Structure 1
Amino acid sequence: MSDSRDTHVELDVDSVFKALADPTRRLLLDRLRTHNGQTLRDLCEQLDMARQSATQHLDVLVRANLVTVTRRGRERLHYLNPTPIHEIEQRWISSFDRPRLRALSAIKHQAEEYAMTTDASTGASTVPDYVYVTYIHATPEQVWKALTDADLTARFWGHANVSDWQPGSPWEHRRIDGSEAVDVAGRVLVAEPPTRLVITFDDAVDASPDPSVVTFLVEPHQEIVRLTVTHEKIPNEEFRGDISQGWPAVLANLKSLLETGDVLPQAPWDMHA
């Protein structure tokens, strides 16, 4: 008899392949890849699709974890979650022909870097928001403390996040090498323990008048929580590339710390370096 955990993994993979098999659902993912964080109305207008049909397709994508939904007031925003596709790539593609695929990917990236979306009102280039979702065997209170406690952030992030975490207060991302230099800084916009934290995220030296914004959403479900990190108002593709490597590494370390009592044996961000 096969291990139940293996069966669970296969069922997850089956749901991803089932979701990707439909051309309409692939088109929805393409629309979110071009412009992440859209409402149902936005998606229906782009695809000239009835609301009920779009809802049914989105439900399939959400169950496959290819799309995640967050709330902003009364609106439900839909974000592309690339994690399942990345796992499929790692399992069935990258190990077979990685060098040639990397070369083709580099060519494709260069060809597409001029095709960034633009804001119709200003003509300025826009960069999609970044969303990452992970599931942690912990309580919401434990996750909140891990995100806001200076000593804990020092353990899993390599920097101490220092603030009183009150709305309007500053926060600093301080080095723990003895210098106490601050690499990232910002302000607390929203603090609703233990479920929602919103901060600005900016270079501590070369601050922007319109910094990016990070939202941590902690959603409990029985003995686990779903942690959704949304990074908005991203200034450029280079910055988006950096956080796309950084957030998964940081959150993997956080998950390991809360579930095992210790961080990963090697700093996960060093793999990218």
Structure 2
Amino acid sequence: MSEMELVFKALADPTRRLLLDRLRERNGQTLRELCEHLAMARQSATQHVDVLVRANLVTVVRRGRERLHYLNPAPIHEIEERWISGFDKPRLAALSAIRHRAEEYAMTSVPTYVYVTYIHATPEQVWRALTDADLTARYWGHANVSDWQPGSAWEHRRADGSGVADVVGRVLTAEPPTRLVITFEDSPDAEREPSVVTFLVEPHQDIVRLTVTHENLADLDMFHGISNGWPAVLSNLKSLLETGDALPQAPWEMTGAHA
């Protein structure tokens, strides 16, 4: 069964759609929290969660002894690009903007963003793509500059030679080639803690699973911005590692997003 068929199969069941809705309302739940109050046995609920995980609609992230479940927008993004965007995008975008504005009034907290992609590469290649200034400049349009030691500063410098850093932060954790945690400050605010980005590189035979988790977001505008930005950036990274070239056009220009 193809990846797309797994996604449509997962979405066809009302219980699984309910589980996705629960994660949309509060991302990062344990299995017990997610399956609480479902009118079925725990084993049956777990099977529904497993279907969502196999379809890559839900990502499991280990946090100490806990296994937290997050929505993964990548498959839905692919459906949107293939089946929706070519038909009536301006009207749909207007409706989406209205819905997002309504959600802003309804939501009291900003969810954590999680994105997962699979890359035909080694963990060392992915790590280098995340931390090498010349490589990041090729697929991101910005050079990520640091010595990547815990406690060190890092800068997201424009690749136009101006030396301007649009994002700055600190390296919190660096465990080459599998885990990198950084603060992410695109508009430094002394009154709040910066957002935090975690890159988790998990090898499996000839591929790696790259999970990007962006936490402690300032507001819903930031959440919506990075929801467009990260898929674009990571698609370009994937293309560079698998083909040797970044995508022919900057993917974030398609959505007006940036990250």
TM score, norm. by length of structure 1: 0.87
User: Does structure 1 retain, via aligned residues, the 8 Å contact 2:74–2:231?
Assistant: no
Return the offset for 1:60.
0.6
Question: 2:151 pairs with 163, 168, 173, which one?
Answer: 168
Supply the distance in 2 between the matched residues of 1:217 and 1:59 (Cα, whole angstroms).
21
Return the offset for 1:255.
0.9
> Unpaired runs of 5+ in structure 2?
none
CA separation of 1:173 and 1:97: change in aligned 2, threshold 3 A? closer
Code of the aligned partner of 1:237: L
Supply the distance in 1 between the matched residues of 2:79 and 2:208 (Cα, whole angstroms).
24
> Unpaired runs of 5+ in structure 1?
1-7, 117-124
- 2:237 maps to which residue? 254
- 1:245 maps to which residue? 228
**Does residue 67 of the first structure (1) align with residue 61 of the second (2)?**
no
- 2:4 maps to which residue? 13
CA separation of 1:107 and 1:182: change in aligned 2, threshold 3 A? closer
- 1:187 maps to which residue? 170
Return the offset for 1:111.
2.9
How is 1:1-273 mapped onto 2 (pairs within 5 angstroms)? 11-45=2-36, 47=38, 50-116=41-107, 125-203=108-186, 206=189, 209-273=192-256
Supply the distance in 2 between the matched residues of 1:98 and 1:203 (Cα, whole angstroms).
29
Return the offset for 1:105.
2.7
Return the offset for 1:75.
1.0
| Structure index of larger Rg | 1
Supply the distance in 1 between the matched residues of 2:104 and 2:188 (Cα, whole angstroms).
28
Return the offset for 1:191.
0.9
Return the offset for 1:154.
1.4
User: Does structure 1 retain, via aligned residues, the 8 Å contact 2:139–2:240?
Assistant: yes
CA separation of 1:146 and 1:53: change in aligned 2, threshold 3 A? same
CA deviation vs aligned residue, 1:75-125 (integer Å, no higher than 9, x gap): 111111122223233333343343443333333333332110xxxxxxxx3
| Aligned residues: CA RMSD | 1.9
